Amino acid sequence: MLSKEITPRAIVEYLDQYVIGQEEAKRTLAVAVYAHYRKLSTLGQRSEAIAKSNVLIIGSSGTGKTLACETLSRFLAVPFVTADATSLAQTRYVSDEIEAILQRLVDRAGGDLRQASRGIVFIDEIDKLKTSSTGESRATSGESVQHALLKIMEGAPVKLGADRFIDTTNILFICGGAFVGLDKIMSRTHSFGFIATSETDNKSILDRLNDRVKPTDLFEFGLIPEFTGRLPVVARFGDLSREMLARIMSVPKNAIYHQFREVFRAEGVELVVAPPVFEQIAEIAIEYKTGGRSLRGIFEELMTPILYVVPDHPQICRVEIGSLFEAPRYFKRNPENGET
């Protein structure tokens, strides 16, 4: 299932083609996934000997968590499903909902139970399951969802329909969440007893300490100890800088810029967007505070009026956008590349 050439480094190189930045997190994910599948392939049937190393991904919204997991599963060619922890907390029948997630995994594997039982389940918004002292309005408390999840993360037979079972022992669980407020907890617990000698010194050491999330931090945040105990690997996705946001639009293989260039090419038109435009869009995206999520919308808004005009003017051969504050420049096919 895992061919010889797949190494953590190869996994990271593949991720690099789609996920901008997040170097540390990509490496952590790659090593965890590699170790997991290595154990599966070497131990063969003796799966009971495998200690699971499920992964916890921490990072703000739109920083590439889901993207990284999806890209990973594509590379490994294993069945992959995403689920949302909030919907688990909204139902009164948590076990039904978990069953449905695993059923989707089996569907992804084309009905092959064996394949599915080695797949990846990504459970997003896990931070929303925190135990809270304030009034619970949800159907099931976050804590009981955590209990239900830790059973399957550990490995348990789960009934699917009438007489089929799936064993979750070899399924890799990746949990993700934004964990708003965790930084505060960490800076409190981690810098304890530390005396800064200078302003800059203080920052760099704090930064390094902050990179490590301790189980006790997660416990203080509101995850029960048994649950954090089943997530030994923690990968942190940092907030995206303006420069990273700009690159997201133009660098990845399937970047939105490339997609639109294809669309225009089909019309016989060359689209050229100058680098400052990506930076200007990144600037707006930062204000929206949804990470890379808002980039597509802003970019599409920029393209819409142009795509509206182009099909009616077959003489246009090239469109250049130099800045968000200037009108796009249209170039005619011939005789001498005159502008309109």
Ligand X SMILES: Nc1ncnc2c1ncn2[C@@H]1O[C@H](COP(=O)(O)OP(=O)(O)OP(=O)(O)O)[C@@H](O)[C@H]1O
Residues in contact with Mg ion by CB under 5 A are 66, 124
Q: Is 250 in the site for ligand X (CB under 6 A)?
A: no
Burial class (CB in 10 A: 0-12, 13-18, 19+), 267: middle
Nearer to ligand X, 113 or 302 (CB): 302
Q: Return the residue of 47, 61, 87, 141 that touches ligand X, per CB under 6 A.
A: 61
Q: What's the min distance (Å) between Cβ of 68 and ligand X?
A: 7
Nearer to ligand X, 79 or 292 (CB): 292
Q: What character string, x for contact with ligand X (CB under 6 A) and - otherwise, covers 166-185?
A: ------------x-------
Where in 15-44 is the site for ligand X (CB under 6 A)?
19-22
Backbone CA torsion sign across 37, 38, 43, 49? negative
Cα dihedral: 88, 90, 94, 100 (round 10): -60
Q: Is 79 in the site for ligand X (CB under 6 A)?
A: no
Q: What's the min distance (Å) between Cβ of 207 and Mg ion?
A: 25
Round to whole Å and give the CA distance between 273 and 228: 46
Round to whole Å and give the CA distance between 63 and 78: 23
- Taking CB within 5 to 8 Å according to partner kind, which of Mg ion, ligand X, none is near residue 20? ligand X
- Taking CB within 5 to 8 Å according to partner kind, which of ligand X, Mg ion, none is near residue 293? ligand X
Question: In sequence order, what are the beta bridge partners of 159?
Answer: 165
Round to whole Å and give the CA distance between 283 and 245: 9
Q: Is 121 helix (H, G, I), strand (E, B) or coil?
A: strand
Nearer to ligand X, 64 or 142 (CB): 64
Structure tokens at 170: 């070899």
DSSP state of 252: S
- Taking CB within 5 to 8 Å according to partner kind, which of Mg ion, ligand X, none is near residue 21? ligand X
Round to whole Å and give the CA distance between 307 and 58: 38
Beta strands of 251-303 (E only): which ranges? 270-273
- Taking CB within 5 to 8 Å according to partner kind, which of Mg ion, ligand X, none is near residue 19? ligand X
Q: Is 236 in the site for ligand X (CB under 6 A)?
A: no
By beta carbon distance, the residue nearest ligand X is 292
Structure tokens at 173: 């669980």
Q: What's the min distance (Å) between Cβ of 69 and Mg ion?
A: 8
Q: What's the min distance (Å) between Cβ of 208 and ligand X?
A: 22
Nearer to Mg ion, 180 or 274 (CB): 180
Nearer to ligand X, 170 or 294 (CB): 294
Q: What character string, x for contact with ligand X (CB under 6 A) and - otherwise, covers 112-151?
A: ------------x---------------------------
Where in 262-321 is the site for ligand X (CB under 6 A)?
291-293
Q: Return the residue of 64, 79, 142, 222 that touches ligand X, per CB under 6 A.
A: 64
Round to whole Å and give the CA distance between 195 and 175: 35
Q: Is 97 in the site for ligand X (CB under 6 A)?
A: no
Residue in 214, 298, 286, 281 with CA at minimum distance from that of residue 63: 286
302 within 8 A of 293, measured Cβ to Cβ: no
Round to whole Å and give the CA distance between 184 and 220: 11
Burial 223-235, CB ≥16 within 10 A → b, else e: bbeebbebbebbb
The site that binds ligand X (CB under 6 A) totals a number of residues, namely 20
Sites of contact with ligand X (CB under 6 A): 19-22, 59, 61-67, 124, 178, 240, 248, 252, 291-293
